[in-house]
Amino acid sequence: MEHHITSPDGTPASRFAFGTMQFGGKADEAAAHAMFEACLAAGVTHFDTAHIYTDGASETILGRLAAPVRDRLVIATKVGHASGASRATMLAQFDASRSRLGMDRVEVLYLHRFDPDTPLEETMETFAELRQRGQIDHVGLSNFAAWQVMKAACIAERMGFAISILQPMFNLVKRQAEVEILPMARAEGMVAACYSPLAGGLLTGKYARGEGGRITESRMYAARYAGDHLHRAAADLATIAREVAADPATLAVAWVAQHPLGAVPIISASTPAQLGPSLAALDFDMDPALFDRLSALIPAPPPATDRTEEL
Ligand SMILES: NC(=O)c1ccc[n+]([C@@H]2O[C@H](COP(=O)([O-])OP(=O)(O)OC[C@H]3O[C@@H](n4cnc5c(N)ncnc54)[C@H](OP(=O)(O)O)[C@@H]3O)[C@@H](O)[C@H]2O)c1
């Protein structure tokens, strides 16, 4: 069964989501407002935040911006990033999130990451309880391996609900999700909302131009995108973008959005000016030859069953 995520007034979740991880960080309230309005104008109705983002400012700002149009939005937040997925943690964090958002309920609640120290039964029971209370519509899992998702899905099924949406990392240079997560999501009818479609900004081409940003400022992102081959791929993407007269960010987001395994990019930006090229991907019709050319920038990961040589 395919899961359809809709807003309170029945508006379907948009083809792109917008991530508000920068709200209250690099994006102050005015910048957040401008980006929110640009998203609405482009038809984006799905907004993503998390309990952990910017010490709660992301949820607080999103809640204020969303209030006038709440009923036509899909709001997703996440609990359990650093402190595990016990019932007590999930309920306490979700209560804080609802209060910051100024919302009784949200359409999607994710567990932010797998917690090896809490039995999945306890986590799934907590999700079931929140569904029963009418505080969430859909259960999501982020940063889970496929076997962890399927284990959770089996437990959820016994409890009478399903995992509707996953949130893996996925972009032109980080393609692990192609191996198991995206095929599983497609087979199980789960939505795959993919974060970091620009590889945290690498795929904008700005690092090849010697400019700074998250990857030079954050040790975690510097480590994640340290490989020379990733930087070479970003430079090659910029060359192709010049050739086809498009922005590299537009190509990178469109590649995720038009991936045959069906991914919903969660776009984001630190400033309204940065957001334009990502939103432009909504209208960029990528022909199969260009899609293949971009796919060839980094070798595809081997399939889960390996034996690549025989394919
Ligand atoms: N579940 C998870 O664990 C997880 C993890 C990460 C993100 N997320 C979600 O996914 C959303 C998107 O992730 P992401 O922020 O990593 O996405 P991304 O699209 O890969 O990176 C966005 C960043 O790239 C830079 N950028 C974007 N457009 C640019 C442009 N035109 N020119 C120059 N730089 C540009 C900006 O960073 P700088 O200006 O700082 O360089 C911007 O904040 C987040 O907001 C969050 O909701 C979830």
Question: What tens digit of pLDDT does each residue of 266-297 get?
Answer: 999 999 999 999 999 999 999 999 999 999 99
Domain for residue 311, yes or no?
Answer: no
Atom of ligand 1 nearest to the CA of 199: 20
Domain count, the chain: 1
Atom of ligand 1 nearest to the CA of 110: 1
- CA-CA distance, 292 to 290, in Å (whole number)? 5
Cβ neighbours of residue 142 closer than 8 Å, sequence gap 6 or more: 78, 110, 111, 112, 113, 166, 167, 168, 195
Domain for residue 154, yes or no?
Answer: yes
Q: Which residue CA neighbors atom 43 of ligand 1 most closely?
A: 269
Q: Residue 161's domain spans which residues?
A: 1-167
95: domain CATH number is 3.20.20.100
Domain for residue 282, yes or no?
Answer: no
- CA-CA distance, 108 to 266, in Å (whole number)? 14
Q: Which residue CA neighbors atom 15 of ligand 1 most closely?
A: 268
158 Cα: distance to centroid of ligand 1 (angstroms) = 36
Domain for residue 272, yes or no?
Answer: no
Atom of ligand 1 nearest to the CA of 113: 3
Q: Which residue CA neighbors atom 46 of ligand 1 most closely?
A: 19
The set of protein residues with a Cβ atom below 6 angstroms from ligand 1 is: 19-22, 26, 48, 112, 142-143, 167, 195-201, 204, 206, 213-214, 249, 266-270, 274, 277-278
Domain for residue 220, yes or no?
Answer: no
* Per-residue pLDDT at 2: 81
Domain for residue 208, yes or no?
Answer: no
Sequential pLDDT tens for the chain (311 residues) = 788 999 999 999 999 999 999 999 999 999 999 999 999 999 999 999 999 999 999 999 999 999 999 999 999 999 999 899 999 999 999 999 999 999 999 999 999 999 999 999 999 999 999 999 999 999 999 999 999 999 999 999 999 999 999 999 999 999 999 999 999 999 999 999 999 999 999 999 999 999 999 999 999 999 999 999 999 999 999 999 999 999 999 999 999 999 999 999 999 999 999 999 999 999 999 999 999 999 999 999 999 998 877 76
Q: Which residue CA neighbors atom 5 of ligand 1 most closely?
A: 195
Domain for residue 283, yes or no?
Answer: no
